[in-house]
């Protein structure tokens, strides 16, 4: 049975799921910061109004029920001043939204930006398959938004692997890892051979170190108990 042809958002989402380093999305840093500022200003306004209502109620000549409103939840709940209770409940609601937005923003700012190669690969995939996503929708990978992108999944690579990947990836061939679908096809470079090469180099170097040590005069050193070291 032939594989179903992928198209539209389904093709892009499948590509991101299959090639995890292409799972890149905007953090909307400016909008999130602006939203926090709006929420903060709204809370400041509510805080100010609550202080005014507390001051107005702090008058024993208005009766014990009113005087007790800033001091007792039960008095506030059954009080005749509906605005006082309304402000308290509104603050509770806005604080919940604000605190969650603050946590989300802190998490978003801690996320890493995608590496240059995956960013270029995703942009190339979207540009070579323009029928999958409308031009405006695909603008999130435009150069002007690169600093606003976060990588959902980043593979930790050794520094040597990254250096070889940037300069000499063509020496290690390509892996035919292709996403199914007429319009969703994408062949990507696999760094598996690079990682194996780096591991082999590490083993070879660690094996040669004792030989080099002996070759450069290390055999003249005799290890003895402390205080009796001779050469």
Model confidence at 93, pLDDT cuts 50, 70, 90, reads very high
pLDDT value of residue 70? 66
Q: Tokens representing 104? A: 């989300």
In this structure, are residues 32 and 105 in contact, taking their beta carbons and an 8 Å threshold?
yes
Whether 123 is covered by a domain: the verdict is: no
Encode pLDDT of 109-124 as tens digits.
999 999 888 898 899 9
Query: What is the C-alpha separation between 197 and 191, in angstroms, rounded?
Result: 10
- pLDDT > 70: what percent of the chain? 59
Residue predicted with more confidence, 230 or 205:
205
In this structure, are residues 101 and 38 in contact, taking their beta carbons and an 8 Å threshold?
no
pLDDT value of residue 174? 41
In this structure, are residues 174 and 189 in contact, taking their beta carbons and an 8 Å threshold?
yes
Whether 127 is covered by a domain: the verdict is: no
Domain of residue 171 covers: 156-231
pTM, two decimal places: 0.65
In this structure, are residues 181 and 129 in contact, taking their beta carbons and an 8 Å threshold?
no
Contacts with 53 (C-beta within 8 Å, 6 or more apart), sequence order: 70, 81, 83, 84, 87
pLDDT value of residue 175? 42
Encode pLDDT of 41-70 as tens digits.
999 999 999 998 888 877 665 655 565 666
Q: Is the pLDDT of residue 221 over 80?
A: no
Task: Give the chain's domain count.
Answer: 2
- Does 33 share its domain with 106? yes
pLDDT value of residue 129? 85
- Does 106 share its domain with 176? no
Question: Domain end: 42, 75, 110, which one?
Answer: 110
Whether 130 is covered by a domain: the verdict is: no
- Does 164 share its domain with 105? no
What is the number of H-type helices and E-type strands within the chain?
8, 4
CA 230 to chain centroid, in Å, comes to 57
Encode pLDDT of 25-35 as tens digits.
999 999 999 99
pLDDT value of residue 211? 72
Encode pLDDT of 158-207 as tens digits.
565 556 555 555 455 444 344 434 444 555 545 555 566 666 776 776 77
- Does 92 share its domain with 160? no
Could you give the dihedral angle defined by the CA atoms of residues 139, 144, 148 and 150, in that order, rounded to the nearest 10 degrees? 60
Transcribe 115-127 into DSSP letters.
PHHHHHHHHHHHH
- Three-point CA angle 43, 45, 48, nearest 5°: 105
């Amino acid at each position: 049975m032939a594989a179903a042809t992928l198209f539209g958002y389904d093709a892009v989402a499948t590509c991101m799921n299959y090639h995890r380093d292409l799972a890149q999305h905007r953090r909307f840093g400016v909008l999130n910061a602006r939203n926090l500022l709006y929420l903060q200003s709204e809370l400041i306004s509510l805080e100010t109004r609550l202080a005014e209502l507390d001051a107005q109620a702090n008058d024993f000549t208005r009766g014990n029920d009113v005087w007790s409103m800033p001091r007792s939840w039960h008095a506030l709940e059954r009080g005749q001043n509906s605005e006082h209770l309304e402000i308290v409940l509104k603050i509770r609601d806005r604080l919940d939204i604000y605190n969650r937005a603050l946590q989300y923003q802190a998490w978003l700012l801690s996320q890493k930006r995608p590496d240059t190669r995956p960013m270029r690969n995703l942009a190339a995939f979207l540009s070579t398959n323009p029928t999958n996503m409308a031009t405006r929708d695909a603008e999130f990978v435009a150069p002007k938004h690169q600093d606003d992108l976060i990588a959902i999944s980043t593979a930790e690579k050794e520094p040597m692997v990254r250096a070889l990947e940037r300069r000499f990836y063509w020496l290690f061939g390509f892996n035919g890892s292709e996403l199914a679908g007429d319009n969703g096809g994408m062949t990507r470079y696999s760094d598996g051979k690079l990682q194996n090469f780096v591991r082999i180099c590490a083993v070879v170097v660690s094996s040669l170190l004792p030989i080099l040590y002996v070759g450069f005069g290390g055999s003249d050193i005799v290890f003895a108990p402390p205080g009796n070291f001779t050469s």
